[in-house]
Amino acid sequence: MLLPDNIHPDHSIYYNGAFLIESLKKGTSYQIIDLYQDVKTKKLMSFSTFILCIDWLYLLDVARFNAKGEIELCY
């Protein structure tokens, strides 16, 4: 759930997605593992939560994969 009512808010996709956006705002594109490592320096999260955040940001057209397969922020 994006905003669950039965778990702590900092475990939600909505909250954790903000850390991905913060990393992507640096203006560079990332390989998926490099982005995960960058995000983990700010917020400890599982890889499955990280992937769910990427999926959610992709569906919202906030993040995209470029021709090289790297993740970047949509403008």
Does a structural domain hold residue 66? yes
**In this structure, what CATH number is given to the domain that contains residue 30?**
1.10.10
For 73, the enclosing helix (H) or strand (E) is strand 71-73
At residue 55 the predicted structure's pLDDT band, cuts being 50, 70 and 90, is very high
Does a structural domain hold residue 1? no
Does a structural domain hold residue 20? yes
Q: What is the pLDDT of residues 22-42, one digit of tens each?
A: 999 987 899 999 999 999 999
Residue 48 φ/ψ, nearest 5 degrees: -65, -40
Q: In angstroms, what CA-CA distances link 62 with 4, 5, 19, 28?
A: 22, 25, 13, 14
pTM (two decimals): 0.86
